[in-house]
Amino acid sequence: MPVRVGPLPLATIDAVAIDLETTGLDPRRDRIVQIGAVPLRRGVPDESAGLSLLVDPGVSIPPTATAVHGITDDDVRGAAAPDRALAELMRFIDGRPLIGHAIGFDLAVLASEARRQH
């Protein structure tokens, strides 16, 4: 398969747009409370095939974080544990490229969470 160098228009690929909600803004310390992901097929979002998971972070959600995303400790009580949520997200991604508004932050949080699991 040839390697493409340079810009790659979204309209030419299948990808996954992701967005995380977290307990704060430190990707090394803060935890995931919600994962949202939507597949893009040749650049077109397919919201009917999206993934939305609440995640029990195992720690209390600070009021400052709840003020941003509206997710409370009660909302995540009994939700997926981080390891289950990450496994489900990885199955959903299925090797497709990830895109997102705050993708650098989201990837750093995912990497920190994955390190906690091992």
pLDDT tens per residue across all 118 residues of the chain = 566 667 878 788 899 999 999 999 999 999 999 999 999 999 899 999 999 999 999 999 999 999 999 999 999 999 999 999 999 999 999 999 999 999 999 999 999 999 998 7
Burial class (CB in 10 A: 0-12, 13-18, 19+), 13: middle
- Please name the residue ranges forming H helices in 1-118: 63-69, 73-76, 82-93, 103-117
Q: Which domains does the chain have, with CATH numbers?
A: 10-117 (3.30.420.10)
Rounded CA gap, 64 and 67, in Å? 5
